[in-house]
Amino acid sequence: MGKGLAGRSDRVNNPFWDLPGAIVHPPPPIAREIPPMTRSKRDLPEKICPACGRPFAWRKKWERDWDRVEFCSDACRKAGKRRGGSPGG
């Protein structure tokens, strides 16, 4: 049984195969660009926790609610509410 097209798919799909003296190389791998980080950790906005007085930085999970975030943790939020908390809440 003859070979047919088995093992010759590169010849069939490559338009330069029939050029005289052409050396056919496989195409180079596609380089994936890694997007740069938009901010470094030190460039993130910070707030001061009213319960413990420590600074805390922006976190991805607070992205939509950053303006409403007051406390650095659940423990400080609970302690702040027990003490009367901030005037807005």
Q: pLDDT value at position 19?
A: 63
Residues 68-87 pLDDT 10s: 999 999 999 998 877 665 55
Residues 27-65 pLDDT 10s: 677 766 666 656 677 788 999 999 999 999 999 898 899
Q: How many CB atoms lie within 10 A of CB 69?
A: 15
Phi first, then psi: give them for residue 55, nearest 5 degrees. Answer: -75, 145
pTM of the model: 0.47
